[in-house]
Amino acid sequence: MRAVLTVIGKDNYGIIAKVSTFLAERNVNILDISQTVLDEYFAMLMLVDISGSSVPLSELATECTSLGKGIGMSIHVQHEEIFNAMHSV
């Protein structure tokens, strides 16, 4: 099962390291990643495999929100099918 994870906020050191470490600790595999910095703002989109995750998606989403607050970012994760449905015309 795959999910889409977004990270948005003011750029700072170590964002990718903190998020990827957090995911690895929960057995979430990063399949693809894209990130950019626009002036002082950081934006990252990850496609992750959560089939081996040690926590259910709902708990992962809650933990991602908490992680985001802790590092001054907005982190959101949702099932790939929901993401696709929301962004289809």
Per cent of the chain over pLDDT 90 is 88
In whole angstroms, give the CA distance from residue 23 to residue 86: 24
- Supply the pTM of this predicted model: 0.90
Q: Which CATH number does the domain housing residue 20 bear?
A: 3.30.70.260
Strands 73-79 and 29-38 turn out to be unpaired
What is the pLDDT, as a whole number, of residue 82? 77
- CA atoms of 66 and 2, how far apart (whole Å): 21
pLDDT in tens, 15-38: 999 999 999 999 999 999 999 999
Tell me the residue range of the domain where 43 lies: 2-86
Domain count, the chain: 1
- SS3 for the chain, per residue? CEEEEEEEEECCCCHHHHHHHHHHHCCCEEEEEEEEEECCEEEEEEEEECCCCCCCHHHHHHHHHHHHHHHCEEEEEEEHHHHHHHCCC
Sign of the Cα pseudo-torsion (11, 56, 63, 19, in order): negative
